[in-house]
Structure 1
Amino acid sequence: METCAFCDIVADFSRARVVHEDDQTVAFFPLTPATWGHTLVIPRAHAADLWEMDATEVQYLMRAVLEVGRTLRAVLEPAGMNVIHSVGRAASQTVFHAHVHLVPREAGDAVGDIWPPRELPQDEAALDGLARRIRARGQGA
């Protein structure tokens, strides 16, 4: 099995600047932060992403995200904050241990727009059909 950098941090906090910990989660600064205060919140137990976690594990993770995010807002007073969880290589996930990025933002920072404005073709009938399929699947899941 490949070693997991985030599991290594859970096992030995000296590998990171830890800013929060509880029985279920750990939060720390990444090695290459996008902005000042950029923080990762992870579950202690290994799971590649949210889809591998059960609802209780996700609740613990999101509770820590809320606590750490509020603390970052109080300490840094950023103009905004991105809360990001990427799943899979196509979504830019590079460490396959579930983690949520808290990225404090300021106007004109180095991150820039993460969803650049652009015109996408909209097929209203196709969107209606997709919404129906998702609702039907969600109610039956």
Structure 2
Amino acid sequence: MAENCLFCGIAAGTSPSQLIEENDLAVAFMDINPATPGHLLVIPRAHSTDLREAKAEDLTAATLMAQELVTRVIDRLGADGANLLSCIGPVAWQSVFHTHLHVVPRYQDDPLKLPWIPSSGDADAIAEVAAKLKV
């Protein structure tokens, strides 16, 4: 547990939250700034700043919990889909520096728009970047 980490406090049960599910390695709770109705956060109990630092077993536990919750928001809330999002760094909208996954239910007519609208990319530029990322 990291000192002054809000999500560590939630994981420990010392900070208030609308807890949805928990196990030995992960905790899910409602986001207090929801993008859409049913927006959840899933965190590993163990502190890490973001998914780059998270232990594989902790990240696996959180991801499996998020998978279950995606199904739950579609089945129980009538969502038409969901976004699973991890923000890493302030420029990518991370505001709490404890690894977390956003489960954002999506509804056919919801007004939420992410800042990026997919459009066709340049195939050569994509291939150039791919070459840099390959093992």
TM-score tier by shorter-chain length is: 0.7 to 0.9
Q: What residue number does 2:132 align with?
A: 133
Structure 1 unmatched runs, 5+? none
The structure with the greater share of residues assigned to helix is: 1
Q: Distance in 2 between matches of 1:67 and 1:27?
A: 11
The alignment covers a number of residue pairs equal to 134
In the alignment, is residue 19 of structure 1 matched against residue 20 of structure 2? yes
- Cα displacement (A) at 1:130: 2.3
- C-alpha contact (below 8 Å) 2:30/2:40 kept by paired residues: yes
How far 1:14 moved relative to its partner? 6.0
Q: Note closer, same or farther for the CA distance 1:117–1:71 as it changes in structure 2 (3 Å cut).
A: closer
C-alpha contact 2:27 2:62 (8 A) present in aligned 1: no
**Cα 1:2/1:54, change in 2 over 3 Å:** closer
CA–CA distance in structure 2, aligned partners of residues 7 and 113 of structure 1 = 28
**What TM-score do the two structures reach when normalised by structure 2?**
0.87
Residue 13 of structure 1 and its aligned partner are, at CA, apart by 6.0
TM superposition score normalised by structure 1: 0.84
Instruction: Measure the CA separation in 1 of the matches of 2:81 and 2:21.
Output: 21
Matched to 2:83, the amino acid is: N
